[in-house]
Amino acid sequence: MKYELNIDVSPVYELLDSFMLYVTKKWTSNLDIGTDWIRDVDGRFTPAQLAALKQAAEWPFEDYDVLYAWAYSRGEASKVLQFLAELESLSLEDCLRRTEPFFHQFTAEECARIKNGYTPLLRIWYEHYFRHVEHTLLPLLIEDASEKKMLESKMDMVPLIEYASGGIVIEDIPGLKTIVLLPTVHNRPINTYCFFKNLMLVQYPVDVPSDNEEEPPTVLLRLTQALSDPTRLRLLRFVANEPKTLWEMQSELSLSREMLMHHLLSLRVAGLLRVHLRGEGTERYSIRPDGASELQMFLESYIRI
């Protein structure tokens, strides 16, 4: 099991992250930015722009895999406006040529639909929202990526990925050649991953300094909330000795898949679970031992004992 590891940082990824979260409303109740962020951002757009953005919520979620592939293959287009201008000027033939290396099946019709549908909406998103926050986010992303690059010489790759992502464990994945770590702020505290032909993108949350030291830190609140549910405690005990599949957890805990995924997400965002990956759709879950020690550390730090 030997992969090439890249640590990539670009405002283009953060543009896509924020756009996806706003349009799809995915995970927002579990994110640090919360659902209030959606309502706050709504006020930045005209009714016509809001209607156009909300229409995109009906489009396939898999479209974002293509957008992230374009972001990864952006070449010299390191700035958001360069990236958008490049997409706008790209011919359909060149667009398809750029996309095909990432997917086993991808058509010219899909390429045209995604390029023509999302590019103008991303420009609206940039003009009315992202350009106003980009300058505060980019230094955090750059600093964190630099830290992870320094750790490359001190840690093996798999432990580094687990440390950076807060629980993603890469196992032997057939055909995989390259893993790319991407720092993100809007997605905090969720880690996400996306599989392509021989490439995997792993997005991990960046720590953001607290504004008020008198308030309990968000990470401590996530931990205590996750552990306040008896079902989640039983789930942690079940996965403590070895990784378990979704089916095994459903059978043991007599939960619907929807309810199990709800509990798993709560435990993941609290940093209490590891996700073991052997390919797309092969997730197994185990307890993350560092999570328990972090609970004690953050609790003692906050109450000052």
Final residue of a structural domain among 205, 239, 266: 205
- Cβ atoms within 10 Å, residue 195: 17
Give yes or no: residues 124 and 160 share one domain. Answer: yes
Give me the pLDDT at residue 176, please. Answer: 93
- Cβ atoms within 10 Å, residue 9: 23
Joined tokens for residue 109: 């019709």
CA distance 28 to 137: 19
Structural domain contains residue 250: yes
Supply the range of the domain harboring residue 115.
4-205
Question: Which DSSP category does 103 fall into?
Answer: -
Give me the pLDDT at residue 77, please. Answer: 60
Final residue of a structural domain among 171, 205, 239: 205
Give yes or no: residues 174 and 35 share one domain. Answer: yes
Give the amino acid at 104. Answer: H
Half-sphere exposure of 204 (CA within 13 A, CB side): 25
Give yes or no: residues 183 and 264 share one domain. Answer: no
Final residue of a structural domain among 205, 232, 254: 205
pLDDT < 70 stretches in the chain = 1, 76-77
pLDDT in tens, 202-233: 999 997 777 777 788 888 888 999 999 999 99
Residue 264's CATH number: 1.10.10.10
Give yes or no: residues 88 and 120 share one domain. Answer: yes
Give me the pLDDT at residue 60, please. Answer: 96
Structural domain contains residue 213: no
When divided into structural domains, the chain yields a total of 2
Give yes or no: residues 188 and 257 share one domain. Answer: no
Give me the pLDDT at residue 215, please. Answer: 82
